[in-house]
Amino acid sequence: MINIVETKERITADNEKAAEETKKSLKEKNIFFVNVMASPGAGKTSFLCAILPELKKHYRIGVMEADVDSKVDAETIQQLGVKVIQLHSGGLCHMDADMTARGLESLGLDDLDVIFLENIGNLVCPAEFDTGATLNLMILSVPEGDDKPLKYPLMFQVSDYVLVNKIDTKPIFDFDDAAFEANVKKQNPNAKIYYLSAKTKEGIDPFLEVLINEIESYRERQ
Amino acid sequence: MINIVETKERITADNEKAAEETKKSLKEKNIFFVNVMASPGAGKTSFLCAILPELKKHYRIGVMEADVDSKVDAETIQQLGVKVIQLHSGGLCHMDADMTARGLESLGLDDLDVIFLENIGNLVCPAEFDTGATLNLMILSVPEGDDKPLKYPLMFQVSDYVLVNKIDTKPIFDFDDAAFEANVKKQNPNAKIYYLSAKTKEGIDPFLEVLINEIESYRERQ
């Protein structure tokens, strides 16, 4: 039992070190890196499809699509005319800092300003591994329910932004904004919560403004 | 790298052994054990709430609610008047055979005919660990999309039953039954697919009939 804990601690320490190296190397190149996490089907790819057409007017964009298998998301993103690669995790349930660093190397960093990692669809394991991202962003879709912060606490603790997607489906699902916000704040008082629909585009522009501010503020920092 | 693989193989072999012991001990007591897997918010608890009121007329039911944290699901199930315990995984993303065996011991087996495990909400890791269940049942909800078998192949490979939940939301989501079935069959030609809504109860009765047949056929086997 003690051995398992020690192994996990060593893995975590090694991961932190690799994540710090990624952060440092990205800052040197002034590249902003967003780690997008969510359940399967919460709308990670649709969210990227909703923001990238506008964002690519301002920045050179790269996307890493991580999946256990398939390349359907990379094919979708490619149609937006941004640089994209597909990463296969080989059965693994998350991206760690090493796997991410290898992904960034394959993507190539010389001609990019902003990079998105679409992590494996999973609310548990990706939260445990710092990828070296500048920003952790998680998407929770209305159909999943407002109680998820109680069940997947770490994901909400590590996320800078919590986006509630599929708000166009609110008329048919019981989703209580106030209850959700209280549940999120219990885990992470600093999480910034935005409501949007990647499908109807409602709420996309206000979030884009906030994201561009984050990117600009990062790029101005020495 | 080789060390990691060896460790994983040993863990898998140990898990298989523990799962076989659970299967043997449950068969001796003639207890049917269903492992319910799905993404966060796909409707595992709602599904149990939809089938248990009828099922408990025929069998003595026990439910193990596994979550990283919280006890909201166990409280919901308790209101149905069946035996229930909450298992906390301590941050872990799945239930393995050992954790399940300890759960079964806590639940107590002497006065039960059918046991359900509501696994951690996750389409990746729970698929890797045989819990010792008689039946693996996964729920995919319409809002998650028809492409999920391509991205989470192992979950569909290990599931005897694939239930498509929230079919009442089909009018507002793009979900192609034929495409979904083709995607499932690619991973698992033997998977039995049923469509239902735990909310409206559409499709619940036909599935209950099938489940009761499975239980009866198991109980008659020597």
Domain chopping of chain B, boundaries: 2-220
Residues in A closer than 8 angstroms to B41, CB to CB, are: 39, 141, 143-145, 148
Q: Tell me the per-residue pLDDT of A44-54, one tens digit each, with 9 for 90 and over.
A: 999 999 999 99
Q: Is B136 exposed, middle or buried (0-12, 13-18, 19+ CB in 10 A)?
A: buried
- B154·A68 Cβ contact <8 A: yes
- A93·B154 Cβ contact <8 A: no
Query: What is the interface size between A and B, counted as CB pairs within 8 Å?
Result: 113
Phi then psi for residue B33, to 5 deg, are: -130, 120
Number of Cβ within a 10 Å radius of residue A166: 27
Task: Write out residues in chain B with pLDDT < 50, as ranges.
Answer: 1-7
Supply B39's token pair. 């993404």
Q: Find the helix or strand (DSSP H, E) in which B19 lies.
A: helix B2-28
User: Rounded CA gap, B160 and B129, in Å?
Assistant: 15
pLDDT at A90: 77
pLDDT at B6: 47
Residues in B closer than 8 angstroms to A68, CB to CB, are: 124, 151-154
- A169·B169 Cβ contact <8 A: yes
Interface of A with B in 136-165 (CB under 8 A): 141, 143-145, 147-148, 150-154
Nearest to A128 by CA among A29, A3, A37, A222: A37
- How far A10 CA lies from chain B's nearest CA (Å)? 14
Q: Tell me the per-residue pLDDT of A149-162, one tens digit each, with 9 for 90 and over.
A: 999 999 999 999 99
Nearest to B99 by CA among B123, B126, B72, B77: B126
pLDDT at A9: 61
Nearest to A160 by CA among A59, A37, A60: A37
User: Rounded CA gap, B118 and B80, in Å?
Assistant: 15
Query: Given a cut of 70, is residue A5 above it in pLDDT?
Result: no
Interface of B with A in 50-89 (CB under 8 A): 67-70, 72-73
Residues 6+ apart with CB under 8 A from B8: none
DSSP state of B190: T
B1, B7, B68, best to mutate vs chain A, most A CBs in 10 Å? B68
Residues in B closer than 8 angstroms to A155, CB to CB, are: none
- How far B38 CA lies from chain A's nearest CA (Å)? 10
pLDDT at A88: 87
Report the topology of domain B2-220.
Rossmann fold (3.40.50)
Say how many CA atoms lie within 13 Å of B165 toward its Cβ.
Answer: 26
Which is it for the CA torsion B12, B15, B16, B17, positive or negative? positive
User: Rounded CA gap, A114 and A222, in Å?
Assistant: 17
For residues B41 and B141, the answer to whether their CB atoms sit within 8 Å is: yes
